[in-house]
């Protein structure tokens, strides 16, 4: 395929806008309980963090990579989380929903019975990260829902040409007292170190990467948290 043809090839999984309202609606649509929502982190100061509903189950970050970090993580650490999946080229820009899957399926949150998310979780409970990747690739119902939400938001939808996609989504969770980054493009879960607070631990890790020049300052951070009623 020529470069021009590759650029015009339509994405199977178009990128999502980093918008907590869109992510919340998407997750509720596929089966996350209404008792949970996706929140937005407006800044790293304690006064701003205090506005987020508690508890916070996971953190989702969208950033632009400056340095290649795909060699991080280890397949040997898959057993340290309840759910981890790979992301291949066929799931071109599914990183936003994969980050949500990594956050929600490693958290004590309720999932509605017989929903898309419930069925996906049960069908993939014993599968490998690679098999889960294929399962999502072939799930046309999931894919169609995703495409609908990729068209929402204030930004112009990007439906082709990977050069126009600058940001990548990852999730951070705490399991057994360890902060773990979950990114399907890496070799496996990236165990960072001791942590009790997923929100503040994620912020410290992001600040380290910013200082090291690994990622751009053009980033956004969201949380999987209890819904504010």
C-alpha triplet 128, 134, 138: angle, nearest 5°: 145
168 noted as active-site residue: yes
Share of the chain above pLDDT 90, in %: 69
Share of the chain above pLDDT 70, in %: 90
| Residue-level pLDDT at 160 | 44
Q: Name the helix (H) or strand (E) containing 206.
A: helix 198-211
Ranking 48-57, 67-76, 99-108 by mean pLDDT, the lowest is: 67-76
**Is residue 174 exposed (0-12), middle (13-18) or buried (19+ Cβ within 10 Å)?**
buried
Rounding to the nearest 10 degrees, give the CA dihedral for residues 176, 181, 192, 83: 30
| Residue-level pLDDT at 6 | 45
Please give the average per-residue pLDDT across 70-86, as a whole number.
92
| Residue-level pLDDT at 157 | 53
Q: Please tell me what DSSP assigns to residue 162.
A: G
pLDDT digits (tens, 9 = 90+) for 86-142: 998 788 788 999 999 999 999 999 999 999 999 999 999 999 999 999 999 999 999
Structure token digits, residue 132: 């889960």
Residue 118 DSSP SS3: helix
Rounding to the nearest 10 degrees, give the CA dihedral for residues 16, 19, 20, 26: -30
Q: How many helices (H) and strands (E) does the chain have?
A: 8, 6
pLDDT digits (tens, 9 = 90+) for 192-213: 999 999 999 999 999 999 999 9
Q: Which of 149, 144, 142, 196 is CA-nearest to residue 173? A: 196
Residue 63 DSSP SS3: strand
Mean pLDDT estimate for the chain: 89
- Using 50, 70 and 90 to split pLDDT, how confident is the model at 3? very low
Active-site entry in 28, 36, 95, 146:
95
| Residue-level pLDDT at 168 | 87
pTM of the predicted protein model? 0.91
Active-site entry in 28, 102, 146, 168:
168
């Amino acid at each position: 395929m020529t470069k021009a043809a590759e650029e015009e090839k339509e994405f199977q999984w178009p990128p999502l806008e980093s918008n907590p309202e869109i992510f919340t609606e998407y997750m509720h649509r596929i089966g996350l309980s209404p008792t949970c929502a996706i929140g937005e982190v407006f800044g790293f100061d304690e006064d701003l963090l205090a506005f987020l509903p508690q508890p916070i189950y996971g953190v989702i970050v969208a950033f632009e990579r400056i340095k290649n970090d795909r060699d991080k993580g280890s397949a040997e650490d898959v057993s340290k989380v309840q759910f981890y999946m790979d992301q291949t080229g066929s799931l071109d820009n599914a990183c936003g929903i994969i980050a949500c899957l990594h956050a929600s399926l490693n958290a004590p949150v309720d999932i509605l019975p017989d929903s898309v998310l419930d069925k996906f979780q049960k069908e993939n409970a014993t599968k490998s990260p690679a098999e889960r990747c294929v399962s999502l690739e072939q799930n046309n119902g999931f894919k169609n829902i995703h495409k609908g939400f990729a068209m929402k938001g204030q930004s112009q939808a990007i439906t082709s040409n990977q050069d126009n996609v600058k940001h990548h989504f990852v999730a951070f969770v705490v399991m057994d007292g360890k902060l773990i980054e979950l990114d399907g493009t890496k070799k496996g879960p990236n165990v960072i170190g001791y942590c009790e607070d997923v929100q503040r631990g994620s912020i410290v890790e992001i600040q380290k990467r910013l200082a090291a020049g690994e990622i751009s300052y053009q980033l956004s951070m969201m949380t999987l948290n209890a819904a504010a009623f």
